[in-house]
Chains A and B, each alone.
Chain A
Amino acid sequence: MFREFAKGLSITFKHLLPGHSTTVQYPTEKLKPSDRFRGLHRLVPTQDREKCVACYLCPTVCPAKCITVESAENEKGEKYPRVYKIDLLRCIFCGYCVEACPVEAIEMTGTYELANYKREDFEFTKERLLK
């Protein structure tokens, strides 16, 4: 019994010595998320517009049903999303939308600081997603 007590105490004491702490001082010090991390979405732009062709595949596959797309046609007769909106409060960051997209128009970035004060601020419109 005493051996075990001594062992436990020695382990915690060893941790007390400098160099064991793994804490990151978050707001001043940040870790870089890995490349595969799924954070905020981004609509990929091409020359003058977004790459998205408003095919409705992503709202269909989205398990949380949080993507709103409304398609329209521009002067050149190309389909484009007049409205593209993601409700981040419902999104579960599964990345299915990214996988479903046939033209790779949507991707996920490493942005993880998504806190906000108002519900409206979690509605990510096309303009915000294009940034």
Chain B
Amino acid sequence: MTPEVLSLSNNVPLFLASMLVKILAVFVVVILIVAYATWVERKVIGHMQTRLGPMRTGWHGLLQPIADGLKLFFKEDIIPSEASKVPFLLAPMMILVPAFITVAVVPFGPDLVIGDYIISQQITDLNVGILYILAMAGLGVYGIVLAGWASNSKYSLLGGIRSSAQMVSYELAAGLSIIAVFMLSETLSLRGIVSAQMGPLWGSISFLPNWYIFSQPLAFGLFVICGLAEINRTPFDLPEAETELVSGFCTEYSSMKYALFFMAEYANMVVISAIAATLFLGGWHGPFPGAINLLLKVFAFMFFFIWLRATFPRVRYDQLMTMGWKVFIPLSLANIVLTGIVVVILQ
């Protein structure tokens, strides 16, 4: 019997079990990366600034994330008396959840054949995968506005509004820069995009893979920069701007709720890295078996983001907005037109 694709129609219990395993695996991996990204970030930035970073808890501070987690659990949890309680409590989750559900459409390895069934290493393959990612990325903004509004603090409100303006502007540019990718691959499914990047570059240059970073270098750069701004990473971490806004939309948050914002920042970093790797760097393709390639690419991106943070100062808000609207959006539009022309000529 030839193996068939496992789905709800041919083996319900096995399908559900495989789903559960995949979801758990992805969740655990993302949580682990998030926890240890905080450690890596402190270590790498420490060394880049000729310090050591954490050294006390465990070998070279390796147990620091666990200690931090414990500490955050036991800290006093304050809700401002005039805050709107329900939105105030919901906001951190509204930011964290979209980050986690975005990973659902990222393929992390080739199809496995187990027994009579083909099981894909991807939680689900939506045929509108990219649209789903853009939609979910857009949800994070609600959490930020909600947090700013519900805190009943002027700093938080201003911070929230400012951050949402930033996130929405850069989402546009990030979204536009992706369009060039699915013009080339002619599909919106992430798995389709990954398989479109197989084989040698442009079908002829054998020593390079057909990754879209080579066909779309401008889109790649734009996506990485705009993605960085959209997830509020340094040098675009204006929501936190301590100098003028005392950490902005999360000023009034403490203890575990604050930690959720923190986790969301790192989870978003993982997500942006994973999407960038999938769209431009061939996803799980590479010299190593399966998911390890994707992990390595994600780590490379995360390292690059941390490296940026250690090097560049934060941009000013008007610079940020000018850059987004007057540079990145026109550039990505021009890239789309160019790609369109090239695609039509090649046909």
Contacts of A16 in B (CB 8 A): 44, 47-48
B42-53 toward A: CB 8 Å interface, digit per residue (1/0)? 001011111110
| Chain B proximity mask over A106-131: 1 for CB below 8 Å, otherwise 0 | 00000000000000000000000000
Q: Are B52 and A12 in contact (CB under 8 A)?
A: no
A15 touches B312 (CB 8 A): no
Instruction: Report chain B residues within 8 Å CB of A12.
Output: 48-49, 307, 310-311
Select from chain A the residue with minimum beta-carbon distance to B56.
A25
Closest Cβ neighbor of A8 among chain B residues: B311
* Distance of A100 Cα from B312 Cα, bound (Å): 51
Number of A-B contacts (CB under 8 A): 37
- The B106-152 residues at the A interface (CB cut-off 8 A) are none
A9: CB under 8 A from chain B?
Answer: yes
Closest Cβ of chain B: how far from A27's Cβ, in Å? 10
Q: When the two chains form the complex, which single residue of B52, B308, B310 contacts A21, counting CB atoms closer than 8 Å?
A: B52
**Which residue of the partner chain, among A5, A9, A13, A20, contacts B50 with CB atoms under 8 Å?**
A20
Q: Is B79 an interface residue (CB 8 A)?
A: no
For residue B52, which residue of chain A has the nearest CB?
Answer: A23
Q: In the complex, what residues of A have CB within 8 A of residue B67's CB?
A: none
Measured in the bound complex, the distance between the Cα atoms of B60 and A25 in whole Å is 12
Q: Is the CB of A15 within 8 A of B49?
A: yes
Determine whether the beta carbon of A21 is less than 8 Å from that of B311.
no
Check if A11 is an interface residue, CB within 8 A of chain B.
yes
Residue pair A21, B47 in contact (C-beta under 8 Å):
yes
**Given that A21-B51, A21-B52 are contacting pairs, would A11 and B311 also be in contact in the complex, using a CB cutoff of 8 Å?**
yes
B55 sits at the interface (CB 8 A) = yes
Bound Cα distance A9, B46 (Å): 15
Q: Show the binding face of B for A, using Cβ within 8 Å.
A: 44, 46-52, 55, 307-308, 310-312
Give 22 pairs: A residue, B residue, CB < 8 Å, sorted on A.
Answer: A8-B311, A8-B312, A9-B308, A9-B311, A11-B311, A12-B49, A12-B310, A13-B48, A13-B307, A15-B47, A15-B48, A15-B50, A16-B47, A21-B46, A21-B47, A21-B50, A21-B51, A22-B50, A22-B51, A23-B46, A25-B52, A25-B55
Interface residues of A (CB under 8 A from B): 5, 8-9, 11-13, 15-16, 20-23, 25
